[in-house]
A and B are shown apart, each in its own frame.
Chain A
Amino acid sequence: AQTVTQSQPEMSVQEAETVTLSCTYDTSENNYYLFWYKQPPSRQMILVIRQEAYKQQNATENRFSVNFQKAAKSFSLKISDSQLGDTAMYFCASRGGATNKLIFGTGTLLAVQP
């Protein structure tokens, strides 16, 4: 079974600073994807970044990057130059297996302070 664990319920960062959100996962699949989704107060689920498990290179999308440690089953998200608009709930998720179910962690509420 897949599980995703986010151990930081809430985090705060000053505008323009860098913050790292933690995520660990467990899966028996060899082929899987990992994701970070952002959920602002509007409730819309917005894909931030994805990582293919077979790729060793860490994914990067503008100010967002991941630190993917496959052996440790760790998948952290780094947000550089934090902006007020980054304030949201962030969910780590894992997808794999024949059914391709996307399993979510419990989320980290990030507050960017001016």
Chain B
Amino acid sequence: NAGVTQTPKFRILKIGQSMTLQCTQDMNHNYMYWYRQDPGMGLKLIYYSVGAGITDKGEVPNGYNVSRSTTEDFPLRLELAAPSQTSVYFCASSYPGLAGDNTGELFFGEGSRLTVL
């Protein structure tokens, strides 16, 4: 039962470098999300996707890009990394809608700790 898998778990970047955080889920969920969590804070939504080929901005999208070419994968790209992007990043997925058997629960990956120096 893999669930939501994120890679890498840890990464150190230099200012101006770029990288991609990978996220894949094996639950056939339509909805996928990227959050960031700064120290001692709650989770802020960066981007989300309601299905393959469809993405939209969340609360804090600046400095990030996403794509959703398949149902399973939802990579998050950081272009020109900045110290302000030092954070823990969580990917999550869920079923669509709030009706029927859908419990509304989001399933989270274990997080990726990114440090930009």
A binds B: yes
| A contacts, CB < 8 Å to B | 6, 31-33, 35, 43-45, 47, 50, 52, 91, 95-96, 99-107
Can you identify 20 A-B contacts, CB atoms within 8 angstroms?
A31-B98, A32-B98, A33-B98, A45-B43, A91-B42, A95-B104, A95-B106, A100-B31, A100-B94, A100-B98, A101-B33, A101-B48, A102-B92, A102-B94, A104-B42, A104-B43, A104-B44, A106-B41, A106-B42, A107-B40
Does any Cβ of A come within 8 Å of B105's Cβ? yes
Which chain A residues border B48 with CB–CB below 8 Å? 99, 101
Which chain B residues border A101 with CB–CB below 8 Å? 33, 45, 48, 58
Find the B residue at minimum CB distance from A47: B105
| B79: min CB distance to chain A, Å | 24
How far is it, in angstroms, between the C-alpha of A100 and the C-alpha of B48 when the chains are bound? Answer: 10
| A25: min CB distance to chain B, Å | 13
| 10 nearest CB pairs, A to B | A33-B104, A45-B108, A104-B42, A106-B42, A104-B43, A43-B111, A107-B42, A102-B106, A95-B104, A47-B105
Apart from A44-B111, A99-B56, 5 more pairs, CB < 8 Å: A33-B98, A50-B103, A50-B105, A100-B104, A104-B35
Does any Cβ of A come within 8 Å of B96's Cβ? yes
Which chain B residues border A102 with CB–CB below 8 Å? 33, 45, 92, 94, 106
